[in-house]
Every structure is written in C-alpha cells, then in structure tokens.
Amino acid sequence: MRSPLQSCSASEGRAVEAALSVDHAGGRSVLRRQNVGYPLHVTRGFHLDAARPDLLTLYLQSASGGLYAGDRIALDVSVARDAAFHLTTQAATVVHDGRGIGALQRQTITVDSGAFCAITTDPYVLFPGAELALDTVATVADDAVLCVADGFAVHDPRASGRAFSEFSGRLRVLRPDGHLLLHDAGRVSGDELHGALGPFAAAANLIIVAPPDRLPSVKSLQQAADGCGALAGASRAPNDAGLVLRILAPDGGTLSRATDAAFHVAAAAALGVTLSRRRK
Amino acid sequence: MTTNDAGRIPSAAGGAELAALYRLLTWLSPAFPIGGFSYSSGLEWAVEAGDICDAAALRGWLATMLTDGSGFCDAAFLVHAHRATELDDIKRLSEVAELAAAFVPSRERQLETAAQGRAFIEIARSAWSCAGLDEAVAQCDVVVYPVAVGMVGALHGVPLEPLLHGFLHALVSNWISAGSRLVPLGQTDSQRVLAALEPVVVATADRSLHASLDDIGSATFRADLASLRHETQYTRLFRS
C-alpha cells in the first residue's frame, strides 16, 4: 500500500474517479449516489431557490490547492428524469506547473428527459508552466437542458515572465441515440496567448443545450456578460442544439462574474424563474 | 475558348495553362455570382466597435485573419479538397467537407461560407460543367466555399498552387472591398492594403500547402467575437 505522500507525488499525479447521481424524489432533486474522493470534495446539497425549491445545488471543491502535474480527474454526473441540478465551484481552481505531463479533467454528463443540469466552473487559473486538458462528453435528452461553463485566466504570482504551457478544452454533446449534436474544441499555448487575446487575459465558454422555447435571446446573454465588463458574443449552435456564448475578460474575476451573469440569464429562460445568487 | 465535353482543360501544348488562367480569373472574379459582396466576415462589427478605423488597422486585422484565422483554415481546406478530388478519394473528400463545415465560429460565418459554396457549385454545374462534379457533391452533406473551389478546380484540372493563390487573393480582396465601404477607405488606400498583404498571402498559402488536417485551427478570438456580435448589430449593410 502506498503512503499518501507517495500517491500525491508530483511526478505521478493523482487519479480520481468521482460520480454524482441526482434523482427527482418527493418533489425535490436529491443526491442519490455520491462517490467523491481526495482531492475532490462536495458540500452538502443546498436548495437555494425559493422559486424552484426542487433544484439541488452542490459546490465542488478541491481540497488540495488545485490541479497538479499528472492529475487525472474523472467526474461522472448523472441527472435523472425531471431532476434539476446545479454543480458549481466555490472559487477558481489553480493549475500548477504541468512539468511536461500536465493535468487532465474528464467529465461525463448524462441528462435524462425533462431534467435540468448546470455545471458552471469558476475559471481555471493557469500558473506558469500549467498544462490542462478538459474533456467533456454530455448525453442530453431532446427535452432536457444542459448548461456547461468553463474558462481560464492567467496568473504569474511571482512575475517570473513564464507563460502557462497549454490549455485545451473539448466538449461533445450527443443525443441518447448517439447522434452528435455539437463538438467544440480549442487549444492554446501560453506563448501564443498574448497575440490571440490582445488586451484580454481570460476567456470562457457557456454552452447551453435546450429546446428552442427554453433558450434566452442571444442579445440578453451578451448584455449580461457585457454588463460585468467582459466582451461576449453568442450564436446558435449547429443542429439546433442551443446556444454558444464566448466571453473575453481582462481578468479572472471579471470573467467569473460575466459567466455567472450569463448563466443566470440562461437558467431563467430554461426554468422560467430567476435563480438566486450562488454565494461563494 | 470553350470547355470540352468533359470540362477538363485541353492538354494541347500551351493551351492548358491559358485555359486554367481563364477559368481561375472567371471563378475568382468579384463578378462571379456567388454574392461575396454581401459578406464582411465580422468586419462590419469591428468597424463599428472602433477596432478598424483606418487602412493600417484594416491591414493588421486582415493579416491576423489570414495568418491565424479563417484565411489559413479555408486555404488548407481548399488544398485538401483539391488533393482528395484529384485522387478520386471520395471518402476523404467527404471528411474534408464535413470538417470544413464545422470549422466556422458563428452562424453568420456558416451562412457566408455555405451559401457561397452552394452558389459556386450551382454555377459550375450550369456554366462550367465537368465530369465527376455531381458524384463528388453527392458525397458531401454541405460544400462550403473553399471546398467547392478546391473540388471544382481539381475536376477541371486547374493546378493547386495558382488556384490557392487566386483563392486567397479573392478572399482578401473581398474583405478589403467590405472594409473600404465601411471605414470608408479610398481606392488608393485599398490598393495599398492589398499590396501590403501580398507577403502574408504568400506565406499563408505556403503554410497551408504543408498543413495536415490536424494542423488546421484558428486563434482569432476577437475576430470570432466580431462575427458573433454582428448577429445582433443594430444597423447592418452586410449579411455577416
């Protein structure tokens, strides 16, 4: 048996497989199954919205100070028929130097018929040398709603002048029969970022998969993000999958506020009520 | 000259190059009716936002779109479509067409490239018929503009390099035409921008000739946002 120190060694990283299953029971969405190990931690469930008391909110935290070289994190989220679930983070996640092997975070999401699932992650803060790959596969029923938000900001706490190594993200959304609705992929290296982002240092995506009558207007999404000091643009996704919002911001804080504001617009359109602010 | 029955360029000495030139000049002329004049690729929003206010800013914006944006991507897709068609590799052509259709950052850019591709194919069918065109098109769900040019060029036997350079010249000229109407710029300034971008076009063409499908990608966040924001721009002259 390895010691905790060995299992946490920077050269090997940590392999974690976590799973959350949410059911609709007794008029509320409840956590039916939870399998979350170190370094991840989830809070107890909250029902924060008086207008939607059935909606379950969980905060996912890192108990170890962020993501390190070699980390392999897998998260499986399943939201059953008619359940409503919001998984978010309490703060930004620091991504440390990848030391040539980087960190990988995989998510598998299943959203059943009539269900609502939102996974909104505060920005990943890329330290010098950081290398992070996000890979998400979501299976969404025709009448279900999925909101996924993630992004990154750059920080060099010691002003070393070193850029992060690489950030990549991939999201595939499928119907239960396997039909591919959309595939969003991006990769940028730290050396290339300044030229690509211009005066901005943070970027995020909000992907909303929903039936047309449960989508917000493109303009309302943009205005919500712009109102926080970001620059955002939205467009309809292919195959009538929903909407895609791209956000640029000068820093991680602005990005986080802009993403959150846009998420609230999306949630209001999908659920018919305005959700309360998620305290962090 | 006229096309022969199969549409391919006659191989008689001297005739082939001239025929290729004739077709290139026709297909990539602003007068070729694919509606290019009605699209700005997001330039209209960039001008309204103040990102592009003069010839120097337009030159810088377009150089980035060529090097790191849709210019490079479209050029590389043309190259792969041309090669797959030349080899009669229909499966490969279908893959290239599918990837090219997915490689647009916004709905309006999708409209821009899909509508022009469709128009290009329709005119090719009507006026520049050639053997194999219907079969090739039938294998693709959507034929976006660079794939249409690469496919038709190959079926007519037009060599890849001049086709590629002609395509990029037409693309840049169309962007400058939009920019000159929006900023606005005079004719002379527009020509200065076109002249200044010649080395960028040459470098982009050279890079796209050697790019694999995995090498294709763009990193023009603000230009992509411009095409997204154009969808809700209040006053618009252009469709993208």
pLDDT the model gives residue B43: 97
pLDDT the model gives residue B11: 64
Rounded to whole angstroms, how far apart are CA atoms A51 and A31? 20
| CATH number of residue B150's parent domain | 1.10.4190.10
> Would the pLDDT of B24 be above 50?
yes
Residue B68 touches chain A, beta carbons under 8 Å: yes
Confidence of residue A3 (pLDDT cuts 50, 70, 90): very low
Confidence of residue A197 (pLDDT cuts 50, 70, 90): confident
pLDDT the model gives residue B1: 40
> Would the pLDDT of B36 be above 50?
yes
β-sheet bridge partners, residue A24 = A29
pLDDT the model gives residue B10: 67
pLDDT the model gives residue A1: 37
Task: Kindly provide the ipTM of the predicted complex, given to two decimals.
Answer: 0.86
Rounded to whole angstroms, how far apart are CA atoms A165 and A152? 13
Alpha helices by DSSP H, listed for chain A, are 4-7, 190-197, 218-226, 252-271
For A199, the closest chain B residue by CA position comes to B222
Residue-range definition of the domain harbouring residue B151 = 42-230
- Decide if B99 is inside a domain: yes
A230, two tokens: 């970001």
A210, two tokens: 């929903």
pLDDT the model gives residue B52: 96
> Would the pLDDT of A4 be above 70?
no
Among B67, B214, B220, B229, pick the best mutation site for testing chain A contact (most A Cβ within 10 A).
B229
- Decide if A234 is inside a domain: no
- What is the bridge-based pairing of β-strands A93-95 and A116-120? unpaired
pLDDT the model gives residue B195: 98
**Residue A138: enclosing H or E segment and its boundaries?**
strand A131-140
**Residue B163: enclosing H or E segment and its boundaries?**
helix B160-182
Residue A231 touches chain B, beta carbons under 8 Å: yes
β-sheet bridge partners, residue B235 = none
Instruction: Count structural domains, chain A.
Output: 1
Partner-chain contact A200 B221, CB within 8 Å: yes
> Would the pLDDT of B4 be above 70?
no
pLDDT the model gives residue B238: 95
- Decide if A278 is inside a domain: no
In angstroms and rounded to an integer, the radius of gyration of the C-alpha atoms of chain B is 17
Distance between alpha carbon A16 and the CA centroid of its chain, in Å?
Answer: 18
pLDDT the model gives residue B13: 56
Residue-range definition of the domain harbouring residue A117 = 15-202
Among A191, A235, A240, A243, pick the best mutation site for testing chain B contact (most B Cβ within 10 A).
A235
Of A42-51, A165-174, A252-261, B46-55, where does mean pLDDT reach its minimum? A42-51
Of B68, B225, B232, which is closest to A218 when you measure between CB atoms? Answer: B232
Rounded to whole angstroms, how far apart are CA atoms B137 and B123? 13
Per the document, the length of chain B is 240
pLDDT the model gives residue A6: 39
The values of phi and psi at residue A105, to 5°, are -125, 115
pTM for the whole thing? 0.90
- Decide if A104 is inside a domain: yes
pLDDT the model gives residue B8: 74
Instruction: Count structural domains, chain B.
Output: 1
pLDDT the model gives residue B5: 52
Question: What is the mean pLDDT of the segment spanning A53-77?
Answer: 94
A276, two tokens: 């309360």
Q: What is the pLDDT of residues A166-187, one digit of tens each?
A: 999 999 999 999 999 999 999 9
* Portion 79-98 of B in contact with A at CB < 8 A: none
Cis peptide bond N-terminal to B184, omega within 30: yes
Percent of chain A predicted with pLDDT > 70 = 95
Give A235's contacts in chain B (Cβ within 8 Å). 105-108, 228, 231
pLDDT the model gives residue B84: 98
Of A21-25, A42-46, A93-97, A211-215, where does mean pLDDT reach its minimum? A42-46
Average pLDDT, chain B: 94
- Decide if B32 is inside a domain: no
Partner-chain contact B107 A236, CB within 8 Å: yes
